[in-house]
Amino acid sequence: MTSSELWTRATADRYDAEEAEMSSATVLEPTLTFLAELAGDGRALEFAIGTGRVGVPLRKRGVPVAGIELSEHMAAVLRHKIDEDTLPVAIGDMATTVVPGEFTLVYLVYNTITNLLSQDEQVECFRNAARHLAPGGRFVIELGVPPLRYLPPGQVAVPFDVSDRHLGFDTFDLVEQILVSHHFTRDGADGRYRRENSRHRYAWPAELDLMARIAGLELDRRVADWDGAPFTQDSAKHISVWRKPN
């Protein structure tokens, strides 16, 4: 198993409720359109498919989808939504697990490549994507740009959400390229907060391009969001597409 932290049953059971906004039709429509166009008439493979936030509606659009998921608990939630024959899921890590067949699209969304906590594992993830792609197929990653510009000298934390229900901030180890996301979430009516944190290895777009070259992939395009806005130095995230040569 890779260094990814394993999602627990409790986290999996509340994941969909906590990510309801990200699962809304308004948010998902551009994502699904982008991915469906790249998949074309072929098959799509989602790395770290989780509870199926993207994979299930993409399959309902008519794109044959398969998934790889490290957490059996997350996959169990997905299985309540769709059966194995319609959307098969292999339990394993996205850096080494192999599923049968070739795909025109492999995709990895919502910053999840950062769950791999070493550069070597992230490189293996690219190699695994290339392994599954048919010639001409594409690998897509959605990833935030590390917000280090918000760090003045001596500061180690950057807030990313401040609301009545949730407080979130990231702390950074700039040497190891590790960030820890800290979450304080209000549960119930008693006002108590649940504290959680998760470790991630952040990477810059140029570093990902080098990983892609190591895996035999070439950059096809990079945009700032699923609607295709231009990627600039002020973009908070990127959608990057690499192509496997024919």
Instruction: Name the residue with tokens 């697990």.
Output: 97
25-37 mean pLDDT: 96
141: number of CA atoms within 13 Å, CB side?
Answer: 27
**In the predicted structure, residue 188 carries a pLDDT above the cut 80:** no
Cα 186 to its chain centre, rounded Å, is 25
- Alpha carbon 150 to its chain centroid, in Å, reads 23
In this prediction, residues 120-140 reach a mean pLDDT of 98
CB 204 within 8 A of CB 213: no
Q: Please, which pLDDT band fits residue 56 given cuts at 50, 70 and 90?
A: very high
Per DSSP bridges, beta strands 157-162 and 89-91 are: unpaired
Q: To 10 degrees, the CA torsion angle through 217, 67, 141, 146?
A: -130
Neighbours of 226 (CB within 10 A): 20
pTM for the full model? Answer: 0.94
